[in-house]
Structure 1
């Protein structure tokens, strides 16, 4: 796509955008004068769809009207409410509906998956992750190693960028597999790195693990709703994600989990269990042994939080209407425009950490501001830009295609120029 560094070009792209009407379906924060802020922070918290309040209110009304019988009589019956979301979520992560379950939150789900899929032995006990994985992943994996009486210094292998580089190279990952294949029990990689914005080649990673019979899982916290991981086709064993970032379900909202079909019907696989994972045909018999639901639902512990599900349903309804392929197409153009405008600044103090290849990133660009400190970010904030600062010198900018516009991107660059020259 040929870009032009003018506001008129940005506005024309917005007029031509077939997804432009979705912007009006979201609440934008406003400044003291009531003007919408430039919100480019969907990688931390997605905006609230305007229809979400109606979805939540419907659940409150059904609760008031039906009491416990809302489980069967609510507009979206609570007994099957999470099941209704499996199909639209499967479209987003590239899976079969029976491989998806909406439950818990991300790190809880990671722990539950590791109960099932981290099976250390005396010789195969190590876990490989990317060195700059999101801290919660590191904490969870470190604690799992300790739970199995394994020193993390001994059991954790880090996939690191080369000296002087910011991005991980897949050939280095493969070298680590070659070196440690007889010791590795699990590979657990963040699909899209929260700091650099690098989207890893999940198919390449999964294939290499499968060649050596190593279990592989992915954290899609920054991938779900951003890139298409195609989890079923690549044969990932499991994946976990949150829904409050690109999936706009609300702060701290419920997460999701993927278990490949090759595992979901197993009755011998280890798992922590609870009553909501019991086969629903006999769940309420109460006095029989645990019989897992023969889908990813078999990993559930408790009945889901209905008000949180309402926010998730609201956003997924918009994703269905927009079409994920359409969103990804717009995302590539929108992030490409941001990249073009940053380059147009011709400022040697600014560099982009995120890969230049659109297939190796989602909608986030991580911008390194050399010789800058948080004061630059605070100036941007004062000018109505909502973004994200990461120490020591990186601003993360994420134009989400469902509600952000080319004009948002253009106006951000204008504010950045002002702040750089103040």
Structure 2
């Protein structure tokens, strides 16, 4: 698209946008009685308008039905999570049985590593991206120590080349091949939280399998953001949170993917719990564990219905949008427009005062741009905040802005760029 730096152009794009009415389905924080421009969906998505009522409905079921709410009413709690797995499977490119909803993200990563990190004296190393979200670093290091290995020896972090901000796929694949004899697991992010880089999950998975390692992914910044095809890419496992691009509330419930080829793999370890037992026999209270078919067999505890309810309020909007494909198309246009306008600012300044470290290729990023400010970065961020733009600050000098297609507009992108340009005049 040939973008233009005019309000008329941005307004015209909004008028043509078939998804423009979706923003009415979300509640936007206020400042001085007006909506803020919320470009922070990569950290916490906005609240769906229906979320409160959905929860109140379940409070009513609890009040009126008590324990019978698990079996009676319009939405019996026993199978409530199954209302959502089909929607999630479509968003993730998975089969319905390969997906379930449970726990929180880091808990699920630990549980999945129980199954898929099987170190031996020969194969014990984990490959991850350097600069991953700290929770991943802590989880992987503690898993290595739990199995008796020094994380400094067991964990291999891959960093961008000197002078570069993003990882080259060729370097990731080369590192995997270089550790063909001692590699147990490749566990990468889907989209890097700091740079916004969308990794080549299919290529990473294929190369990991070629050398005899499992391939898993933390999809915290990918689920609900980019198009995924986990089943066909032959990914072994994945986990994600629901409170960023899937708008299911702070600390919202997590989900997992387990490839169907592992459903009957008796060599995999698995922690067992009540909710992972076969549903058709669960209340017989037998002694020996029989897992539910599919990813659901990795569940442990009774599903938290209130969290599932919030998740359903958000996922219903994805269905109303027609799935992720139209949202992804709008996302690429929104992010591309923001990139264009930032480049215009640099041209007007005669230098790169705002350097984008997110990949330029639209297929290698989600709806996020990470911007390095050359001068007075924190002052620039504070200027945005004072003008009702909610973005995200990362030390030492990076502003992350995320125009989310569900509730952000092209005019908002135009306005944010104008405020950014004005902030540079203040610095």
* TM-score tier after normalising by the smaller chain length: over 0.9
SS of the residue 1:61 aligns to: helix
Kindly state the Cα deviation for residue 295 of structure 1 after the two structures are TM-superposed.
1.0
SS of the residue 1:337 aligns to: helix
Q: Within 2, Cα distance between the matches of 1:6 and 1:57? A: 44
Kept after mapping to 1: 8 A contact 2:177/2:207: no
TM-score, normalised to structure 1, is: 0.98
Q: Within 1, Cα distance between the matches of 2:267 and 2:423? A: 60
Match of 1:161 in 2: 160
Match of 2:284 in 1: 285
Moved more, 370-379 or 164-173: 370-379
Q: Within 1, Cα distance between the matches of 2:79 and 2:267? A: 26
Q: Within 2, Cα distance between the matches of 1:343 and 1:268? A: 53
Equivalent pairs counted in the alignment come to: 421
Match of 1:354 in 2: 358
> Is 1:369 the equivalent of 2:368?
no
Kindly state the Cα deviation for residue 47 of structure 1 after the two structures are TM-superposed.
0.2
> Is 1:206 the equivalent of 2:214?
no
Kept after mapping to 2: 8 A contact 1:55/1:310: yes
Kept after mapping to 1: 8 A contact 2:119/2:125: yes
Match of 1:416 in 2: 420
Match for residue 409 of structure 2 among 405, 409, 412? 405
Match of 2:99 in 1: 100
Kindly state the Cα deviation for residue 267 of structure 1 after the two structures are TM-superposed.
4.3
Gaps of 5+ in 2: none
Match of 1:226 in 2: 225
SS of the residue 1:12 aligns to: helix
Kept after mapping to 2: 8 A contact 1:341/1:410: yes
Kindly state the Cα deviation for residue 38 of structure 1 after the two structures are TM-superposed.
0.6
Kept after mapping to 2: 8 A contact 1:267/1:292: no
Kindly state the Cα deviation for residue 392 of structure 1 after the two structures are TM-superposed.
0.6
Matches within 5 A, 1:309-388: 309-322=308-321, 323-346=323-346, 347=349, 348-388=352-392
Kindly state the Cα deviation for residue 31 of structure 1 after the two structures are TM-superposed.
0.5
Kept after mapping to 2: 8 A contact 1:62/1:75: no
Match of 1:18 in 2: 18
SS of the residue 1:109 aligns to: helix
> Is 1:117 the equivalent of 2:116?
yes
Matches within 5 A, 1:37-52: 37-52=36-51
TM-score, normalised to structure 2, is: 0.97
Q: Deviations over 1:46-98 (max 9, x none)?
A: 00010111111111111111001011113211000111110000011110010
Kept after mapping to 1: 8 A contact 2:191/2:198: yes
Match of 2:9 in 1: 9
